[in-house]
Amino acid sequence: MDESGLVRTDLGLFLELNAVDASLPSYRRLFLALRRSILSRRIEGGTRLPSTRALSASLGISRNTVKSAYELLQAEGYLLSRRGAGCYVAELPEAKSLAADPVVINQPVKLPTASAINRAPGLLQPAVPALDHFPYRRWQRALQSGVTSVGLLAGDPQGDPRLRREIVRWLGAQRGMQVDPDQVLITSGSQQGIFLVADQLVKAGDRVLLERPGFQGTERVFDAAGARVGHFYQHELETVDRLGPARLLLLTPSRNFPLGHTLAADRRLALLNWARQNRAWLIEDDYDSEFSAGPALSAMFSLDASQQVIYAGTFSRTMFPGLRLGYLVLPVSLVTQFREARRIVDGGLSVTPQMALAEFMACGDYSRHLKRMKRLYLQRRQMLEEMLGQSSLAHLPVIGAGGGMHLCLQVPTGCDDRQLVAELDRVGVCARAISQYDPKQGAGLVLGFAAQDRDAMARGVAILERIVSAALAQLD
């Protein structure tokens, strides 16, 4: 077939061209149309293609577009050029099934919008720190310190060495833990730390014990690992032998999530004995002990002589959730294994934020910030308790311990706390239902106060009064 014949008669090429996503550059569209024609053998191997001039004239597109399409077809091996003799279609094996070319998406996939993901915290939303008091300038300065040639290179898979040293210094002073920086593994939050523990230490079918009430994110990790998940309450640790053997037990001994109570020393020791006898791992999830009402408590890790406790810490609450930095403190026997796992998972985390955080801690900004936040959160907690006390909800008990970043308001059994949360969410209050952390705990609402100034808190409490009172009225 002569070249002009090909152009005139091959209506398929025009149709192919029109079927390709019009938002693509025109040379790419022509490339895709020609490639499809070649792969479907509408243009056979050995065929001489029209000259770029002829094809551009016939399709009404620029010659450069045709040239670029031909060059790409040549580079990928669909066309062969013979000096002075033009371009020929290569002889190719038959393609049994062809992947679809990029298609026009008429119905865009429904992804959450950036504003839905990053939306401003809702009223009374738990787990959000006081962003209105965050030391933005000082953090910017610390970030700048990470913008160096070292910060641009891939870092230590175990985590920035200076950050690990600073964490060790902090844990020694605050939590009574004497550890080596080599025992610290930086993670993208304690959620990832706990995931790594499950990945490395738990096999499908292993028995794992999780504290009730407890964080659902943790529960999901062990479900995904195929573990046989059982539950226990802190008060059951009086008779720890009844727990039976397990591969691993996870708890929040410094401040139960979400009620805030602390595991007493006798139960900590009993649990450590149980772990020794059963050769079980203990995960100490220390998600917000920095904000306990009294002095900082020693970590359970610091009592453990037999190296069976893995400590999971996070900067999500002490700094901000978007930082996505946390850490594991590992028994010496696990360091090499976890370091290797980290190398396999992602080769290490982004370096600049780690360097910035190391600088923020080293220059004292971190401890100054936390001291201020601890004072502020105690004031905000008191303010929320007072507002609730002066409202029509004053008869509802506040349960759990003081301190922290949220409080728990009990509602009568019979009240569906999840339904309440859904109704509150529709009008801007982001409470959480206690029953989602423990179905046996009864109904209640987890109300955050850390991120709320007086105005926001008053608005939140007014809405809460309206919605909860209406729900209580229906019970009568």
**By Cβ distance, which residue is nearest to ligand PLP?**
189
Q: Name the minimum Å distance from CB 437 to ligand PLP.
A: 9
Report which residue type is found at 165. Answer: R
Least distance in Å: CB of 375 to ligand PLP? 22
Q: Whose Cβ is closer to ligand PLP: residue 35's or residue 432's?
A: 432
Which of 331/404 has CB closer to ligand PLP? 404
Burial label, 370 (beta-carbon count in 10 A; 0-12, 13-18, 19+): middle
CA pair distance 459, 462, nearest whole angstrom: 5
Shortest Å distance, C-beta 160 to ligand PLP: 17
CB nearer to ligand PLP: give 250 or 270.
250
Q: Is 378 helix (H, G, I), strand (E, B) or coil?
A: helix
Q: Nearest approach, Cβ of 190 to ligand PLP (angstroms)?
A: 4
Q: Are strands 184-187 and 326-329 parallel, antiparallel or unpaired?
A: antiparallel
Q: Which is nearer to ligand PLP, 213 or 331 (CB)?
A: 213
Phi, psi (rounded to 5 degrees) for 356: -65, -45
Report, in Å, the least distance between residue 186 CB and ligand PLP. 12
Closer residue to ligand PLP in complex, CB, 68/191? 191
Helix (H) or strand (E) holding 92: none
Classified as helix, coil or strand, 87 is strand
How many whole angstroms separate alpha carbon 264 and alpha carbon 244?
A: 21
Per-residue DSSP letters for 154-207?
Answer: ---TT--HHHHHHHHHHHHHHH-----GGGEEEESSHHHHHHHHHHHH--TT-E
Q: Which residues pair with 89 in a beta bridge?
A: 79
Cβ contact 373:130 at 8 Å: yes
- Name which of 29 and 317 has its Cβ closer to ligand PLP: 317
CA 162 to the chain's CA centroid: 24
Nearer to ligand PLP, 78 or 281 (CB): 281
CB of 313 to ligand PLP, least distance (A): 8
Question: Which residues contact ligand PLP by CB under 6 A?
Answer: 127, 189-191, 215, 217, 252, 257, 285, 287, 314, 316, 321, 326
Instruction: Count the Cβ atoms, other than its own, within 10 Å of residue 163.
Output: 29
Q: Show the tokens assigned to 444.
A: 């209640």
The nearest distance, CB 321 to ligand PLP, in angstroms, is 6
- Cβ 456 to ligand PLP shortest distance, Å: 20
- Please say which residue, 172 or 217, places its beta carbon nearer to ligand PLP: 217
Residues β-bridged to residue 187: 326
Tokens of 16: 């192919």
